[in-house]
Amino acid sequence: MTNRTELLKEFDRPKVISYTPEEIAIERDSYRQIVASFALENAEPKDFYKVISMERIRGEPTEEQARAIMLGNLPEETERIQAKLNRLAELGLSWKDL
């Protein structure tokens, strides 16, 4: 059976910003805490925005690129993120796994 790490390899993208694994782990944990805080206030962001944020944390898009995707200014990226969400769901994974 394929493990979670192998499943996630298909979502790897080239990095435009290099972060250490430790930096990524810290940012990932911080973001999850922020999302949890928003959820307590019934203001949790949609999974679409969570995926973009996780990609940014991993250094895949720049801050400017991530913002443009969130604002809908890059339709091909919007489509890619939506396809990624669908594929995550097919695999039984979520944005938290990224």
pLDDT digits (tens), the chain, 98 positions: 467 777 788 888 899 999 999 999 999 999 999 999 999 999 999 999 999 999 999 999 999 999 999 999 999 999 999 999 999 999 999 999 98
pLDDT at 8 (0 to 100) = 80
What's this model's pTM, rounded to 2 decimal places? 0.89
- Is residue 68 included in any domain, yes or no? yes
Which domain range does residue 61 map to?
A: 17-97
- Is residue 90 included in any domain, yes or no? yes
- Is residue 65 included in any domain, yes or no? yes
pLDDT at 87 (0 to 100) = 93
**Per-residue three-class SS string for 39-88:** HHCCCCCCHHHHHHHHHHHCCCCCHHHHHHHHCCCCHHHHHHHHHHHHHH
Cα(52)–Cα(64) distance, rounded to whole angstroms? Answer: 12
- Is residue 87 included in any domain, yes or no? yes
- Is residue 93 included in any domain, yes or no? yes
- Is residue 77 included in any domain, yes or no? yes
User: How many domains, in total, are found in the chain?
Assistant: 1
HSE value, Cβ hemisphere, 13 Å, CA-based, for 44: 12
- Is residue 73 included in any domain, yes or no? yes
Cα(15)–Cα(62) distance, rounded to whole angstroms? Answer: 9
- Is residue 40 included in any domain, yes or no? yes
Amino acid letter at 20? Answer: T
